[in-house]
Amino acid sequence: MRYRFNDYLFDSECLELWQNQEPVHAEPQILELLALLLKNYDQTVSKEEINEQVWRGRIVSEAALSSRIKSLRQLLQDDGKNQKVIRTVHKRGFRFVAKVDSPYASQENIAQGTANAPSSNDQSQLEKPTVVVLPFVNVLNDTAQEYFSDGVSSDIITHLAKHRWLNVIARNTAFSFKGRVVDARSLRTELNVHYIVEGTIQKTDTHVRVNVNLIDSQSGFQKWSERYDREISDIFAVQDEITEKITARLEPEIGFAERNKVAHARPHNLQAWDCYHLGIYHFYQFTEQANLEAQRLLKRCQTLDKHFGEAYAWWAYALVLGMVYWETEPSQDLLDQALSACETAISLDPQNASFYALRARTLLARREYGRAISENKKAIDLNPTYAAAHCGLGDSLAYEGRYDEALVCFERSIALSPNDPQLWAFYTYGALALLFKKDFQAAVDWTESALAIPNCQYWAYAHQSVALAYLGRIAEAENCIAKLLKQRPDFSIAYAKYKMFYLTRSDQIQIYLKGLKLAGLSEGISE
C-alpha cells in the first residue's frame, strides 16, 4: 500500500519513502517501523506490537526502541517535543497522528513525478534476478590507469557470477556501455536487468579510491553504496581486496531486496521462486515459528519445482537450525533427510558453492567434522567471497580443537560481509571457539558484538555468561543468565548439553557446562 502524508509518499510493500518526489534513504528497520505505524495510523501501537513486528519478537531494551522512534521522527522532520507526526502515548505505545490520505494499492498509478515508482504488480520481480556491472568510470581520465578500472569491473563480474542464484550479464555486453550515459530504466528495457552495479575510480601512484553503487533498475533508486580508500603497495593485491569486498557485500544486499519484494507483494498464486524467497525471508527472521514456516515453504518449493536445488539445500539448513535453536528434535533420521536433500541440491548444480557450504553445516550437525572441513573448502574454492563458508570452516576447525585456524576463518567471514544477515552467527560461533580456547575476555567481546545485532539468538547470552563466570565476574554472569532465561525460560545445563549434540570432545562440553554452573544456571532435567 502507498500512503501520503505531509509532503511524503511511502510504499509499505517496497519499503521506500519519497519526499517531494525525491527518494529518502533510511535503514530497513526504521522503514518497517514506519510501515507498522501507518498501517495502524490514528491508533496506538503498543511497544509489544512493535517488538513483535519490527524486532521479530526479540526482546530489546527501551533505549533501543526509543532510539528507533527518534530516528524515524528525525527522518520525518518531527521531534519528541512537537510530536506532529508520531505521538507518544504514555505507558501504552505510539500513534501516527499526521493526516494520512487514504492508502491505495501500489500497482495503481501515482501522482506526477513518482509515476515510475516500483509496482508490486510487476511480475519480473518474481524471476531470478539479473545484474549488470557497468564499467567503472576512471574519474581522472588517465588512459594509462584504464586497466585498473576495467580490471575491477571485470573481477566483480567474475565474483558475482559465482553466486549461482544470480544471473550476471557477461563482460562483453556490459562493457559495450563503456563511455555511454544511460539511465537505470533504459538499461532495464535494453538488458532486462533488475539491478545495476556502477562505480568510479580515482587512482594515483600511491592511493586509490573506489565508489560503488547498487541501483534498482525499476525504481532507479540507490539500494546500497560504499567507498573504499586504500594505500597502494601491491596494486594487484589492492585490486583483489577491493573486488572481493565489493562482491561479498553486494550479494546480501541483492538478496535482501529480492526477499522483501516477494514478502511484501505476497502473491496469492505462489510459484517456486516465490516460495523460495518467502522461505528465506522467514529463515532470516530467526524465530521458532519463522523457522517452521521457512521449512514449510522450502518443502513446497521442492514440490513445485523438483529441480530447484536451493529449496533442498536451504531446507536442510533450516532443519538443522531448528534442532540447535528451537523445538525440532535432533534425530538421526532427520539428519539423514537433511544430508539427502543436500546431495540432491549438489546433483542438480555441482558448481554451486552454497550447496557445499550447506552440506557442510549438515555434516557438522552429524559430527562429521573432517568431511565438513572438506565441503567448506570446496565452497570457498568455488566462491572465495562466500562469507558463510568461511564461518562454517571456522566452526569445523574449532570442533576439532584447531582454534587459531578457526578464528582466522571467523575474522575473514566478518571482514568479507559485515552486513550479512547471519553476522550475529559469525560472532556467536567465534565466541564459542574462544571459550573452548579459554580466551574468555575475547569471548565476552565477541558476544557483545553479536548481541548488538537485532536478530541475535539466545545462545550468545549463554556463551557470554560462561565467559564472565570463568573471569570471576559472577554478578555480571548471573545478570546475563537472567537475560538468557527471559528469552528462553527452559534453558538449563541439561538443555544446553542436549542441544549441543553436535560436539564430540568431552573437554569442550565440560568447559561449557561447568561455566554455566559457575554462572548460577540450574541443572534442569536430564534428557
Burial of 473 per CB tally in 10 Å (0-12, 13-18, 19+): middle
* Structural domains for the chain: 2-96 (1.10.10.10), 123-249 (3.40.50.10610), 267-350 (1.25.40.10), 369-420 (1.25.40.10), 421-527 (1.25.40)
- Tell me, yes or no, if the pTM score tops 0.75: no
Closest CA relative to residue 117, chosen from 258, 225, 22, 223:
22
- Tens of pLDDT along 354-399? 899 999 999 999 999 999 999 999 999 888 888 899 999 999 999 9
- Strand-pair partners of 215: 196, 222
Query: Beta strand 44-46 with 93-96: parallel, antiparallel or unpaired?
Result: antiparallel
Chain-centroid distance, C-alpha 275: 18
C-beta of residue 262 within 8 angstroms of C-beta of residue 247: no
Confidence at residue 407, expressed as pLDDT on a 0 to 100 scale: 96
For cell 536433500, what's the residue?
341
Confidence at residue 282, expressed as pLDDT on a 0 to 100 scale: 86
- Tens of pLDDT along 111-150? 333 333 333 333 333 367 788 888 888 887 667 667 778 8
Q: What angle do CA 215, 56, 261 make, to 5 degrees?
A: 30
Query: Beta strand 8-11 with 2-5: parallel, antiparallel or unpaired?
Result: antiparallel
- Tens of pLDDT along 36-81? 898 887 678 888 788 777 776 666 677 788 888 988 999 999 988 8
Mark out the alpha helices in 438-492 (DSSP H runs).
440-451, 459-470, 474-487
- Tens of pLDDT along 160-185? 877 777 778 877 778 888 877 777 77
Q: What are the grid coordinates assigned to 292, written together?
A: 517452521
Q: Measured between alpha carbons, how far is 462 from 475 in angstroms, rounded to an integer?
A: 14
Query: 514 or 110: whose pLDDT is higher?
Result: 514
Residue 264 banded pLDDT, cuts 50, 70, 90: low
Q: How far is CA 218 from CA 12, 183, 221, 269, 339, in A?
A: 17, 11, 8, 23, 39
What is the mean pLDDT of the segment spanning 395-407?
A: 95
| pLDDT above 50: residue 105 | no
- Tens of pLDDT along 437-471? 999 999 999 999 999 988 888 999 999 999 999 99
| pLDDT above 90: residue 26 | no
